Amino acid sequence: MSFWIDPILFLSQWFHGLLEGWGLAPGLVTFLAYLIGGFILTLGAMLLSLILIWLERKVVGRVQDRFGPNRVGPWGLFQPVADMLKIFTKEYITPSGADRIPYNLAPVVSVAAVLMLWAIIPFSITFYGSNLNIAVLYIVAVGGLGELAIVMAGWGSNNKFALLAAFRAVAQLISYEVPMVLSMLIPVMFAGSLSLNDIIQGQDLWFLLLSPLAAFIFFISQVAEVGRAPFDLVEAESELVSGFNIEYSGLKFGMFFVADFIHAFTIAMLFAVLFLGGWRGPGAEDLPVLGFIYFLLKTSVVYFFIILMRASLPRFRIDQMMDLNWKFLTPLSLLVIVVTAVTNKLLPASLPLVRVAGMIAVNVLLWFGYQAVLDRLRRGRRRRVVAPEPRPVARANTTPSTPEQGA
Amino acid sequence: MTAMQITFLMVSAVTLVSAVLVVSVRKMMHAALWLVLTLLGVAVLFALLESRFFTVVQVLVYIGSIAILIIFAVMLTQKVMVDTGPQVNRNFWLAALVSFGSFAGIVAALAQWPAFSTAQRVVPAGGEDLVALGKALVDPNGYVIPFEIASVLLLAALTGAIYIAVERKGVQK
């Protein structure tokens, strides 16, 4: 066992050997190892958000034909560090009449709910917090804690707008949990296990190839769970003052901000685990470091798509968002489960090419069939007009302009 | 006293205290938040028994769903911010009597059960056998009847909720 083949296992064994050499009980050593491991993992996640914030600003800047941050450090790399130091020095303002305990607990719970997801993600074949046999259920359960944090923030702030925004945010999160859970059932069905390690081990063929529709639904509903563009209507900066976190300032607001960024990266990791084979790749079983690199690469690609989506798509209206969920994604995910289960039984598992071709064909058929049925249902029903009659923002200039004044 | 026992005592104390607070605090919103802590305490007790499945299901079902629903109900209640008025009515002693009676009944019934006095059971390394649980739920010799009755009950509740909530055409309010 060399350091360069598997640094995490090497360090863990070294730590165990060292402390047991000092005469500590093995149970205590394991406890300490988990404590330190958890601390390092969460610290790494928090520090990662610095890079994520820089990356997001840079990529969105490029999309919008700007440079993005470019003053502090090379390529503006230290801009988030400067922002972080600034946010440390800001004043905490507690609104009068705030419910102190929920108000102060909400940012902590919000970050904790995201970091708890990191405990079960397998970064390589040997590097994971816990190989939970019900990891997929755990992901859904921990999502509930994030909703609780939002309700606590909205209630504790003693602000009716924060409370209304919390209502909207929780309504969105609860709604999009339905297609998310249904689409997560597909990898579970293929792998025959709820454990993320088993799901990765079962992906000789990436589940993205076997069920592109489930991957699509999972991606969309997870982006909605994070609440970023195009699903960021709960805290639409250009239309509302802010969301449930309006009364927060300084580092307390920073906690929500960090939780948002880590959550976006976490859903990219979950997508990589469930649909892109996680750490799997050539040579990853023998060289766990290589598996970690594969995993990071896959995650980065998915994360890049999330940023591009945020940069390029306009925001949904709330009725459009709910329509997309209840009238499009949820029925589709139910259909995908039934169709995938039947097709998977019919196709021979021994011929991977036939299996992939068959599954993709079925998915494409299902997609177009579903669209055709939806079109037929919508035909004859007039679309509700939500926008009022168009009216001129500025009156046209009725006096003819002279040629000198033109241009 | 082992670390496990200390943890158990602490968690049980927190669970019981917050359970009492659920029914005794004046603000309904606080009651709901204390209920979340109580349910979380029960989840930790499941974790101490090394039952991963029930820990996660406890968090998923009770905290993830019911807590959120309760909070919504609290928020839709009128005068939720006001904490005046008596907390008990004349019949509170009757309710206390019934709840103590049913608690004593449950303890007495459980005391007959042979597994009541066993020490902690040993869970295999890979977690408990979920396949056996799933099969027992749909086994005619197992729990199929309670399981089906529960699902019919939930379906009835769902239908009733839709019936109440739906806006019927032509009916003027």
Q: Is B37 on the interface with A (CB under 8 A)?
A: no
Nearest alpha-carbon partner for A166 in A108, A240, A230: A240
Supply the pLDDT for residue A300: 94
List the single best residue of B29, B33, B57, B133 to mutate versus A (max A Cβ within 10 A): B33
Nearest CA in chain B to A144: B64
Output the average pLDDT for chain A. Answer: 86
CB contact under 8 A, A138 and B56: yes
Residues of B in contact with A164 (CB under 8 A): none
Higher pLDDT, B60 or A388: B60
CB pairs under 8 A between A and B: 59
Pick from B68, B81, B133 the residue to mutate for testing the A interface (most A CBs within 10 Å). Answer: B68
Length of chain B: 173
A145, B59: Cβ pair inside 8 Å?
A: yes
Å between A49 CA and nearest CA of chain B: 26
Residue A355 pLDDT > 80, yes or no?
Answer: yes
Where are the extended beta strands (E) located within A220-296?
Answer: none
ipTM: 0.80
Q: Residue A265 and residue A261: Cα distance in Å, rounded?
A: 6
Could A155 and B75 be called an inter-chain contact, meaning their C-beta atoms sit closer than 8 Å?
yes
Q: Which residue among B33, B57, B126 places its CB closest to the CB of A137? A: B57
Mean pLDDT of A180-206: 90
Nearest Cα of chain A lies from the Cα of B7 at a distance, in angstroms, of: 14
Give the pLDDT of residue B83. Answer: 61
- The whole-angstrom separation of Cα A127 and Cα A134 is 18
pLDDT tens per residue across span B13-59: 999 999 999 888 887 778 888 988 999 999 999 888 888 888 888 88
For residue A192, what is the nearest residue in chain B, using CA coordinates? B131
Compute the average pLDDT of residues A25-30: 81
| Inter-chain touch A145–B63, beta carbons under 8 Å | yes
Asked whether residue B106 carries a pLDDT value surpassing 80, the answer given is yes
Q: Residue A101: closest CA among chain B residues belongs to which residue? A: B30
In this predicted structure, what is the pLDDT of residue B115? 77
Q: Which residue of B has its CA nearest to A143?
A: B64
Cβ-nearest to B52 among A132, A142, A174? A132
Give the residue with greater pLDDT, B83 vs A46.
Answer: A46
**Is the pTM here over 0.90, yes or no?**
no
In the prediction, which pLDDT does A7 show?
A: 78
Answer yes or no: do B64 and A147 touch at CB < 8 A: yes
Two tokens, residue A184: 């997560």
Q: Which chain A residue's Cα is nearest to B125?
A: A133
* Neighboring chain A residues of B68 at a CB cutoff of 8 Å: 144, 147-148, 151, 170, 174
Distance from CA of A401 to the nearest CA of B (A): 56
Confidence band, pLDDT 50/70/90 cuts, at residue A407: very low
Q: How confident is the model at residue B154 (pLDDT cuts 50, 70, 90)?
A: very high
Contact check, Cβ <8 Å, A151/B71: yes
The per-residue pLDDT for A385 is 67
Of A141, A151, A167, nearest to B60 by CB-CB distance is A141
Longest Cα–Cα distance of chain B, Å, equals: 70
| Residues in B 110-129 with any Cβ partner in A closer than 8 A | 126-127
| pLDDT band at residue A159 using 50, 70 and 90 as cut-offs | confident
B126 vs A contacts (CB less than 8 Å): 133
B134–A contact, CB cutoff 8 A: no
What's the mean pLDDT in A322-331?
91
| pLDDT (mean) for B120-132 | 72
Confidence band for A391, pLDDT divided at 50, 70 and 90: confident
User: B46: distance to nearest CA of chain A, Å?
Assistant: 14
Helix (H) or strand (E) holding A389: none
Nearest of A168, A388, A180 to residue A275 by alpha carbon: A180
Burial class (CB in 10 A: 0-12, 13-18, 19+), A78: middle
- Assigned token pair, A255: 């906690």
Give the model's pLDDT for residue B100. Answer: 94
**What are the pLDDT digits (tens) for A55-104?**
999 999 999 999 888 888 888 889 999 998 999 899 888 888 888 888 99
Q: What value does the mean pLDDT take over residues A175-182?
A: 92
Report helix, strand or coil for A159.
Answer: coil
CB-CB under 8 Å, B65 with A144: yes
pLDDT at A13: 82
Residues contacting residue A147 through CB under 8 Å, at least 6 positions apart: A170, A173, A174, B64, B68
Tens of pLDDT, residue by residue over A105-142, are 999 999 999 999 999 999 888 888 888 888 899 999 88
Rounded to whole angstroms, the Cα distance separating A307 from A268 reads 11
Rounded-to-integer distance, Cα A316 and Cα A314, Å: 7
Place of tokens 């204390």: B34
- For position A236, what pLDDT does the model report? 72
* B42 and chain A in contact, CB less than 8 A: no
Q: Which pLDDT score, from 0 to 100, does residue A170 have?
A: 85
In angstroms, rounded to a whole number, what is the distance separating the alpha carbons of residues A194 and B22? Answer: 34
Does B21 lie at the interface with A, CB-CB under 8 angstroms? Answer: no
Q: What angle do CA A234, A238, A241 make, to 5 degrees?
A: 60
Closest in A133, A143, A151 to B126, CB measured: A133
Picking from A102, A163, A170, the nearest residue to B33 by CB comes out as: A102
Choose the most confident range, by mean pLDDT, from A2-11, A236-245, B40-49, B63-72: B40-49
Question: Does the distance separating the beta carbons of B63 and A137 come in below 8 Å?
Answer: no
Report the length, in residues, of chain A.
Answer: 407
- Report pLDDT for A406: 47
Residue among A138, A144, A167 minimizing CB distance to B63: A144
